[in-house]
């Protein structure tokens, strides 16, 4: 009898030990749910903090710089092979000129831009290939989003008239968005086929530019140039366009049989 009791006690202790071991394998799940998935880590390329970086640019800035920090979170050395950009205003460099990164190493891809006459929200993507990438499949596409203040806003940049249609005057509204007034000093048209007239609504703040085609019997195109007294070069000259052309045909896709 004593032997039977001892056997039962031993079996109970073994069963208890097995239950504890199973419980220690992972977190306890309650409420019938599933454990949260592990955090995703990029293992096939460089891991960037962000692949789209937004940068606010000063109104009078002529250049802008955007940094893309990264880390090699893989278990192998990764080498930056080439970068392809979509405009001549951009220059892309890697911190320190270093192109190969061992596991755990960090770096920065820096994109610099000549702003020229850019304004508003401007997105500039570029592609980055690692060694071994196919020519048509870069590992990364990085996008710089430049926010450049608009100091003078045109509510329309292209006025259009239909060939052979009415040649009524059309208006472009001009509004200053700067803290200081910006005055429109002169307006000229590149073609005598379009008459331009500037009407101040609030000097330095709000103007109306009226454009009238001489006729609509023939196609026509003019560049309208507006000169201002802005001290910031980007806003010294504004441009809009006037066009007389045939209406665009509405082409519909054929219906399915």
Read off the pLDDT of residues 177-218 as tens digits, 9 standing for 90 and up: 999 999 999 999 999 999 999 999 999 999 999 999 999 999
Tell me what pLDDT residue 96 has.
Answer: 87
pLDDT at 41 over 60: no
Exposure string of 196-223, with b = 16+ CB inside 10 Å and e = fewer, is beeeeeeeeeebebebbbeebeeebebe
pLDDT at 34 over 60: no
For the chain, what percent of residues have pLDDT higher than 70?
79
Mean pLDDT score of the chain: 84
- What average pLDDT does the segment 158-168 reach? 96
Tell me what pLDDT residue 87 has.
Answer: 86
Tell me what pLDDT residue 42 has.
Answer: 44
For each of the domains in the chain, give its residue range(s) and CATH number, in order of start: 47-148 (2.60.40.10), 152-245 (2.60.40.10)
pLDDT at 138 over 60: yes
Tell me what pLDDT residue 22 has.
Answer: 25
Model confidence band, residue 253 (pLDDT cutoffs 50, 70, 90):
very low
pTM of this structure: 0.69
Cα-to-chain-centroid distance, residue 181: 30
Tell me what pLDDT residue 249 has.
Answer: 54
Is there a contact between 84 and 126 (Cβ–Cβ < 8 Å)? yes
Backbone angles phi, psi at 246, to 5 degrees: -70, 150
Tell me what pLDDT residue 29 has.
Answer: 30
């Amino acid at each position: 009898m004593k032997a039977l009791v001892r056997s039962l006690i031993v079996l109970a202790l073994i069963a208890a030990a097995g239950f504890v071991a199973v419980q220690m394998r992972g977190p306890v799940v309650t409420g019938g749910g599933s454990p949260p998935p592990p955090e995703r880590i990029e293992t096939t390329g460089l891991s960037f903090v962000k692949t789209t970086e937004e940068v606010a640019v000063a109104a009078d800035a002529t250049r802008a710089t955007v940094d893309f920090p990264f880390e090699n979170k893989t278990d192998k050395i990764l080498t930056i092979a080439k970068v392809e950009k979509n405009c001549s205003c951009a220059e892309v460099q890697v911190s320190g000129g270093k192109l190969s990164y061992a596991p755990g190493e960090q770096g920065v891809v820096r994109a610099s831009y000549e702003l020229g006459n850019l304004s508003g929200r401007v997105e500039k993507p570029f592609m980055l290939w690692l060694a071994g990438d196919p020519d048509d499949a870069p590992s990364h596409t990085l996008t710089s989003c430049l926010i450049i203040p608009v100091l003078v806003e045109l509510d329309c940049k292209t006025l259009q008239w239909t060939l052979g249609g009415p040649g009524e005057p059309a208006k472009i509204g001009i509004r200053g968005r700067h803290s200081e007034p910006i005055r429109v000093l002169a307006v000229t048209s590149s073609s005598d086929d379009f008459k331009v007239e500037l009407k101040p609504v609030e000097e330095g703040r709000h103007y109306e530019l009226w454009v009238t085609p001489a006729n609509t019997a023939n196609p026509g195109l003019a560049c309208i140039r507006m000169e201002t007294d802005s001290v910031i070069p980007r806003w010294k000259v504004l441009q809009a366009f006037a066009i007389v052309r045939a209406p665009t045909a509405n082409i519909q896709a054929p219906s399915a049989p």
